[in-house]
Amino acid sequence: MTFPADLLTLLLRTSKLAALTGAGVSQESGLRTFRDAQSGLWAQYRPEDLASPEAFARDPKLVWDWYAWRREAVKAVRPNPGHYALVEIEKRVPHFTLITQNVDGLHRMAGSRNVLELHGNIQRVRCSECYAFAETWGDDGESVPRCEICGGLLRPDVVWFGEALPREQLEAAVEAARTCDVFFSIGTSGVVQPAASLAYAARNRGAVVVEVNLEPTPLTPKADFFLQGKSGEILPALVKAVWG
Ligand code: BV8
Ligand code: ZN
């Protein structure tokens, strides 16, 4: 795999790099992306119809079961070479901020340290009323487990559509986007806001935008470099080409 020489020179010189990742980065670990049709008994649902407070209010058991199913799927997979390449970049670039939309925790599992989880983490469960975290819970398969402290329904600690993103993570992500020399957008269709606006915030401040994605997205025409293909193949090859 070859890369434009000016991209390689730029990355060797970069001291401030930010990367936004989406479900595409976890696809080669075996996790479905949001674009992929859901499988099995979840095939009839669209994620947007389940990942919202309204859906949880309407049918808490259905939403709880969907996340329980996804938690098991996440437990069964491991980071892929794309995750590990980002760990390598963090070691090589003086200031590197990894901003992820993914809730699977695979970046931290791979060894990334400076990770901003914009949409929470599916492995964490909290009370929908008092926000207390639950490490363990009884799941009789009949009803949604309840908070031991206040009796509220437990829920995944993720950001649903219509919910605000965690303030510190979002502010840190915007700051990283505004101050970086190079902004990577990797494995994301760039549809969901406000995460999708980060690449434009970087571009408006003069950052070079590099997109790594299986297919073109609305960002592609605005990116300085578009590396089309699998992140699990492109990222390791890029790390090797730049840093040997
Ligand atoms: C907010 C956690 C305001 C949950 C997620 C109307 C009504 C209500 C809201 C809105 C509205 N219109 C717009 C909005 C805002 C809304 C939004 O953006 N909607 C979209 C649908 C238009 N945003 C929100 O609601 C956000 N909150 O705005 O709050 C507010 C403010 C103050 C106070 C109160 C409220 C919250 C958004 C977060 C939602 N939660 N996840 C869960 O996971 O269950 S979003 C979820 O979907 C993911 O986290 C991710 O962000 C998104 C999926 O996107 P991608 O990651 O890009 O995945 P996708 O499948 O789309 O694409 C994968 C790409 O990878 C593809 O391009 C593919 O080609 C590529 N690919 C595949 N394989 C590979 C690959 N690339 C490389 N290598 C491969 N191997
Ligand atoms: Zn509670």
Domains of the chain: 5-31+79-119+165-243 (3.40.50.1220), 32-76+124-158 (3.30.1600.10)
**What share of the chain in percent tops pLDDT 90?**
91
Residue 42 confidence class, pLDDT cut points 50, 70, 90: confident
Cα(196)–Cα(86) distance, rounded to whole angstroms?
20
Percent with pLDDT over 70 in the chain? 99
Give, for ligand 1, the residue of 167, 193, 212, 219 to mutate: max count of ligand atoms closer than 8 Å to Cβ.
193
Which atom of ligand 1 is nearest the CA belonging to 196? 18
Is the pLDDT at 38 greater than 80, yes or no? no
**Residue ID of nearest Cα to ligand 1 atom 37:** 161
- Rounded CA-CA distance 180/205 in Å is 9
Q: Which residue has the tokens 């990770």?
A: 115
Q: What is the value of pTM for the model shown? A: 0.96
pLDDT in tens, 207-234: 999 999 999 999 999 999 999 999 999 9
Q: What distance in angstroms lies between residue 67's CA and the mean position of ligand 2's atoms?
A: 19
Q: For 83-127, write each residue's pLDDT tens digit.
A: 999 999 999 999 999 999 999 999 999 999 999 999 999 999 999
Q: Which amino acid is at 37?
A: A
Considering only CA atoms, which residue is closest to atom 22 of ligand 1? 192
Please report the pLDDT score of residue 43 as a whole number.
Answer: 79
For residue 39, pLDDT over 90 is answered with no
> Which ligand is in closest contact with the Cα of 31?
1
Mutational pocket test of ligand 1: of 28, 34, 160, the residue with most ligand atoms within 8 Å of the beta carbon = 34
What phi and psi, each to the nearest 5 degrees, are found at residue 21?
A: -115, 155
Rounded to a whole number of angstroms, the CA Rg of the chain reads 19
Give the model's pLDDT for residue 139.
Answer: 82
pLDDT in tens, 122-169: 999 999 999 999 999 988 888 999 999 999 999 999 999 999 999 999
The chain-wide mean pLDDT, for the chain, equals 96
Six token digits for residue 57: 């209010």
Q: What per-residue confidence (pLDDT) applies to 44?
A: 83
Which of the four pLDDT bands, split at 50, 70 and 90, describes residue 237?
very high
- Nearest ligand 1 atom to alpha carbon 120: 2
Distance from Cα 158 to the centre of ligand 2, integer Å: 16
Output 42 or 61, whichever has higher pLDDT: 61
Is pLDDT of 36 > 90?
Answer: no
